[in-house]
């Protein structure tokens, strides 16, 4: 399954939007926190986990999804939210803790819910897998042609919830796909020191589903593999597991000094950044004209600027608003 | 003790790391497990330097598998080791609670005392810095509610070190909760009162012994961990208003130093309990119930409490600050007893 020219450009545009978004959030996040980085300060308090480098995973998978398809994401969710079509203005307002945010500022960056596009994220590692299996179960029980996708990090594949959920999915043959973004780190611990097998795709065998590993963070291979798995799930062919080699180009959290990385690693993964590589390839293969690419980049930066401006202009919630919405 | 030793001040984080290192030095059975506790020294610095000193065998980075490694600690404790495990944020207890409250907490009882579980689980509590509802809770009331675990929460470095030594020596599972607002990490800001004189040599602060941090005669303010510092600030304000407040730091919930609270309430006749946990069915209700049961005749007014409303910890600053306990809420509660 090869994405055609317009699909490639569309994926690139999602990826660029996502990268520019993370850059903008990073800038806003550091406001008021420096020189003595203190997480409590600035317009965006708390932890911040950016996805720069991992855009192909989100863009390549979500290219096959409709608004009805369900996605659960992790603490590192912005690229997935953008690729899934989450309302970026309301998402940004949420990250800034404003009333116009997705939850009115109750959840923040780690708890993004957009029910219009069936998207959720959460802060506990491995927590989103079972809900995605449950969403898939609902689609199956109701005879709907939708699929559910759980995005997780490679670190989450060592959680009990991963194994229990994949067994359920394999047992019930629900329309579910698990995407593992293998950026080779869970905070400071690299995969070799946390995982008994080098690649998690082999674990799929234990749950009677196909498992594949995609090397090199390549948007086109991701698109192809995800397309096949999602298609199969949609047609009643059951779940799949896909692990993607990807690169986290920033810290685990914003402000992370990244002392755990071996020397030279940052430079070498930056050289493998999928964004410039995809851009070059599209030009070289005549997939898109430079003007079209630049137009996509321009439109991405306008989208991001609008979202940030929307968030900054939105009012802060009234304190007592905290008491509402515990129950509906 | 030399003068310089006396003047030595540590953060809670450094005090915990020092206690762990001393315990590992003196007892081969003590070892550590947790996420990012090796080279990184822990997400909160509690194991800084210990990997280099004791190596990967005794300072074990784990996968993100809390059910696995905390359950494994129970088994290791049953078979001759004294594990100290770190659950990075207490909010993550949901994925491993069975190992904690059904195994660690109950194995001694189920074995008729034959199989004690000498382990320590240390975990970060508290919010106030915008980390939202899965990274800001305290939950110590939950652990204290479930029988079989000791629960401690230090308010300063001196206690942190002494309580850690006592926890490791204890033959029972101890839940050791350190508050992020007190931890001495620049990236979270730190209440200065938590950085205290800490002797360089090993010592214990017994579990179940509260401390009277400030003597007073009009009202008793009870808390532990971070709220204690709010109570001290409130007491200072109250003094300016002619109200003499006694401040008690419980230091541990299980065992609970009831006598310390009751003696104070019998003296002052008024009680305000401050908590950084959800209000209902928790620590504040328990302390007030004890006072009502055992010092009813001494009470001159209905006891008051300051705690989180029963809502998840909200992200946005105005809402989170609204939910948190603070000095002014304590002062107002004290006035309600006068
Ligand atoms: C149950 C649980 N344990 C630990 C954490 C702390 N934590 C947050 S992110 C993270 C690393 C996750 O690694 P991975 O799944 O590979 O995702 P990545 O951060 O690399 O995107 C850890 C340990 C958590 N949030 N939840
Ligand atoms: Mg990872």
Q: What is the pLDDT of residue B3?
A: 42
- The alpha-carbon gap from B176 to the nearest alpha carbon of chain A, in Å, equals 21
Catalytic residue numbers of B? 135
Q: What is the pLDDT of residue B2?
A: 39
Name which residue sits closest to atom 20 of ligand 1, judged by CA: A186
Q: Are B133 and B144 in contact (CB under 8 A)?
A: no
Instruction: Summarize pLDDT for A179-199 with one digit per residue, the tens.
Output: 999 999 999 999 999 999 999
Considering the domain architecture, whether residues B171 and B219 belong to the same structural domain is answered as no
ipTM > 0.90, yes or no: yes
- How many domains does one find in chain B? 2
Instruction: Summarize pLDDT for B278-310 with one digit per residue, the tens.
Output: 999 999 999 999 999 999 999 999 999 999 999
Any domain includes B203 = no
Answer with the one of B197, B228, B252 that is the final residue of a domain. B197
Any domain includes B13 = yes
Q: Are A117 and A67 in contact (CB under 8 A)?
A: yes
Q: Indicate which atom in ligand 1 lies nearest the CA of residue A186.
A: 13
Considering the domain architecture, whether residues B84 and B186 belong to the same structural domain is answered as yes
Give me the percent of chain B exceeding a pLDDT of 90.
96
**Candidate of A180, A186, A260, A261 to mutate for ligand 1, largest count of ligand atoms within 8 Å of Cβ:** A186
Any domain includes B166 = yes
Instruction: Summarize pLDDT for A43-93 with one digit per residue, the tens.
Output: 999 999 999 999 999 999 999 999 999 999 999 999 999 999 999 999 999
What is the C-alpha to C-alpha distance for residues A28 and A321, in angstroms, rounded to an integer?
25
How much is the pTM? 0.97
- The structural domains of chain A, ordered by start, are 5-313 (3.40.50.970)
- The alpha-carbon gap from B153 to the nearest alpha carbon of chain A, in Å, equals 22
Considering the domain architecture, whether residues B29 and B170 belong to the same structural domain is answered as yes
Considering the domain architecture, whether residues B126 and B261 belong to the same structural domain is answered as no
Considering the domain architecture, whether residues B190 and B242 belong to the same structural domain is answered as no
Asked whether the predicted pLDDT for residue B186 surpasses 90, the reply is: no
Any domain includes B160 = yes
What is the C-alpha to C-alpha distance for residues A50 and A324, in angstroms, rounded to an integer?
29
Bond from prior residue into A35 cis (ω within 30 degrees of 0): yes
For B296, the domain range is 211-337
Using alpha carbons, select from A205, A227, A230, A225 the residue that is nearest to residue A215: A225
Name chain A contacts of B43, Cβ cutoff 8 Å.
187
What is the C-alpha to C-alpha distance for residues B51 and A32, in angstroms, rounded to an integer?
34
Tell me the DSSP string of B16-48: HHHHHHHHHHH-TTEEEEETT-STT--TTSTTT
Considering the domain architecture, whether residues B177 and B281 belong to the same structural domain is answered as no
Considering the domain architecture, whether residues B244 and B307 belong to the same structural domain is answered as yes
Considering the domain architecture, whether residues B259 and B174 belong to the same structural domain is answered as no
3-class DSSP state of A206 = helix
Instruction: Summarize pLDDT for B222-276 with one digit per residue, the tens.
Output: 999 999 999 999 999 999 999 999 999 999 999 999 999 999 999 999 999 999 9
Residues touching ligand 1 (Cβ under 6 Å) are: A 75-76, 123-125, 152-156, 183, 185-187, 252; B 35, 64, 66, 88, 92, 95
Considering the domain architecture, whether residues B188 and B243 belong to the same structural domain is answered as no
pLDDT band at B1 (very low <50, low <70, confident <90, very high): very low
What is the C-alpha to C-alpha distance for residues B149 and B169, in angstroms, rounded to an integer?
14
Is the Cβ pair B309, A255 closer than 8 Å? no
Answer with the one of B197, B231, B259 that is the final residue of a domain. B197
Any domain includes B206 = no
Considering the domain architecture, whether residues B174 and B216 belong to the same structural domain is answered as no
Considering the domain architecture, whether residues B187 and B248 belong to the same structural domain is answered as no
Q: What is the pLDDT of residue B7?
A: 81
Considering the domain architecture, whether residues B153 and B17 belong to the same structural domain is answered as yes
Residues 27-56 of B with CB under 8 A from A: 35-36, 38-40, 43
Q: Can you tell me the mean pLDDT for B94-107?
A: 98
Asked whether the predicted pLDDT for residue B315 surpasses 50, the reply is: yes
Is the Cβ pair B318, A47 closer than 8 Å? no
3-class DSSP state of A27 = helix
- The alpha-carbon gap from B186 to the nearest alpha carbon of chain A, in Å, equals 6
Instruction: Summarize pLDDT for B28-45 with one digit per residue, the tens.
Output: 999 999 999 999 999 999
Give me the percent of chain A exceeding a pLDDT of 70.
100
Instruction: Summarize pLDDT for A201-252 with one digit per residue, the tens.
Output: 999 999 999 999 999 999 999 999 999 999 999 999 999 999 999 999 999 9
Angle, CA of A74, A79 and A161, to the nearest 5°: 20
Half-sphere exposure of B245 (CA within 13 A, CB side): 31
Q: What is the pLDDT of residue B136?
A: 98
* CATH number assigned to the domain comprising residue B140: 3.40.50.970
Any domain includes B191 = yes
* CATH number assigned to the domain comprising residue B257: 3.40.50.920
Any domain includes B205 = no
Mean pLDDT rounded to a whole number for chain A: 98
Answer with the one of B174, B197, B220 that is the final residue of a domain. B197
Is the Cβ pair A322, B314 closer than 8 Å? yes
Any domain includes B202 = no
CA A253 / ligand 2 centre spacing (Å): 12
Q: What is the pLDDT of residue B6?
A: 61
First to last CA, chain B: 45
- Is A40 an interface residue toward B (CB < 8 Å)? yes
Tell me the pairing of strands B252-254 and B150-152.
antiparallel
- Is B57 an interface residue toward A (CB < 8 Å)? no
Nearest CA in chain A to B184: A38
């Amino acid at each position: 399954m090869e994405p055609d020219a317009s699909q490639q450009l569309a994926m690139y545009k999602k990826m660029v939007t996502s990268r520019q978004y993370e850059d903008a959030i990073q800038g806003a996040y550091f406001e008021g926190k420096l020189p003595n980085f203190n997480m409590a300060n600035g317009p965006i308090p708390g932890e911040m986990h950016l996805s720069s480098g991992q855009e192909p995973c989100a863009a390549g998978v979500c290219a096959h999804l409709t608004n009805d398809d369900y996605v659960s994401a992790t603490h590192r969710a912005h690229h997935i939210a953008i690729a899934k079509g989450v309302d970026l203005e309301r998402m940004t307002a949420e990250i800034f803790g404003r009333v116009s945010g997705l939850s009115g500022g109750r959840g923040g960056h780690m708890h993004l819910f957009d029910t219009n596009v069936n998207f959720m994220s959460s802060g506990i590692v491995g927590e989103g897998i079972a809900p995605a299996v449950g969403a898939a179960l609902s689609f199956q029980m109701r005879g709907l042609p939708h699929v559910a996708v759980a995005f997780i990090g490679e670190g989450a594949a060592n959680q009990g919830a991963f194994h229990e959920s994949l067994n359920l999915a394999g047992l019930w043959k629900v329309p579910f796909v698990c995407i593992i973004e293998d950026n080779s780190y869970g905070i400071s611990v690299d995969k070799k020191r946390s995982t008994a097998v080098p690649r998690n795709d082999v674990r799929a065998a234990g749950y009677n589903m196909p498992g594949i590993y995609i090397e090199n963070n390549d948007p086109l291979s991701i698109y192809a593999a995800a397309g096949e798995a999602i298609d199969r799930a949609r047609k009643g062919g059951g779940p799949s597991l896909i692990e993607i080699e990807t690169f986290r180009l920033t810290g685990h959290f914003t402000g992370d000094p990244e002392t755990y990385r071996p020397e030279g690693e940052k430079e070498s993964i930056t050289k493998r950044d999928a964004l410039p590589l995809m851009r070059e390839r599209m030009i070289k293969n005549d997939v898109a004209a430079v003007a079209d690419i630049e137009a996509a980049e321009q439109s991405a930066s306008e989208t991001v600027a609008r979202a940030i401006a929307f968030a900054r202009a939105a009012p802060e919630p009234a304190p007592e608003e905290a008491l509402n919405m515990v129950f509906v | 003790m030399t003068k310089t030793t006396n003047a030595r001040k540590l953060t809670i984080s450094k005090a915990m790391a020092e206690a762990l290192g001393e315990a590992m030095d003196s007892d081969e059975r003590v070892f550590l497990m947790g996420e990012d506790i090796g080279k990184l020294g822990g997400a909160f610095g509690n194991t800084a330097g210990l990997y280099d000193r004791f190596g990967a065998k005794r300072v074990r980075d784990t996968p993100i598998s809390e059910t696995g490694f905390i359950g494994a600690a129970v088994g290791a404790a049953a078979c001759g080791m004294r594990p100290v495990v770190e659950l990075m944020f207490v909010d993550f207890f949901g994925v491993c609670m069975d190992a904690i409250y059904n195994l660690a907490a109950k194995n001694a009882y189920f074995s008729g005392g034959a199989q004690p579980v000498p382990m320590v689980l240390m975990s970060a509590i508290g919010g106030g810095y915008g980390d939202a509802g899965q990274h800001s809770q305290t939950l110590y009331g939950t652990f204290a509610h479930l029988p079989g675990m000791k629960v401690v929460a230090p308010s300063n470095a001196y206690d942190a070190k002494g309580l850690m030594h006592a926890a490791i020596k204890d033959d029972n599972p101890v839940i050791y909760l350190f508050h992020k607002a007190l931890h001495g990490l620049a990236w979270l800001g730190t209440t200065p009162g938590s950085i205290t004189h800490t002797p360089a040599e090993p010592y214990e602060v017994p579990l179940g012994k509260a401390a009277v941090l400030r003597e007073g005669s009009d009202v008793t303010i009870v808390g532990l961990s971070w709220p204690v510092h709010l109570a001290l600030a409130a007491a200072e304000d109250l003094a300016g208003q002619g109200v003499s407040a006694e401040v008690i730091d419980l230091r541990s919930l299980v065992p609970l130093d009831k006598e310390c609270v009751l003696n104070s309430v019998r003296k002052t006749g008024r009680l305000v309990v401050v908590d950084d946990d959800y209000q209902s069915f928790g620590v504040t209700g328990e302390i007030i119930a004890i006072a009502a049961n055992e010092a009813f005749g001494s009470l001159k007014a209905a006891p008051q409490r300051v705690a989180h409303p029963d809502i998840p910890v909200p992200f946005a600053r105005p809402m989170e600050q609204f939910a948190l306990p603070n000095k002014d809420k304590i002062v107002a509660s004290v006035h309600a007893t006068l």
